[in-house]
Amino acid sequence: MIIPYNELSEDVLQALVEDFVTREGTDYGQEEQSTQEKAEQLLALLKAGELLITYNEDTKSCGLITKNQ
């Protein structure tokens, strides 16, 4: 299921993005970036429609995917 980012409260959206950027295995290139910088990048991609929020009812978990996925 796709969840429109603008249907989430600002606090929930921020928590979701911060959870994603602090997961092990996320890669943002060769330059180190702060958690805040990574979160800002993801928020910008969500607002541009390049990233989508997914919700899996079976696992009751959220994720982020590119619009091409």
Q: What is the pLDDT of residue 26?
A: 56
In the chain, the amino acid numbered 33 is Q
Tens digit of each residue's pLDDT (9 = 90 or more) over 2-52? 999 999 999 999 999 988 888 865 555 666 778 888 899 999 999 999 999
- Tell how far CA 67 is from the center of its chain: 12
Contacts of 23 (CB under 8 A, 6+ apart): none
pLDDT of residue 35: 83
Residue 34, pLDDT score: 83
Closest CA to 20 of 56, 61, 67: 61
How is residue 6 annotated by DSSP?
G
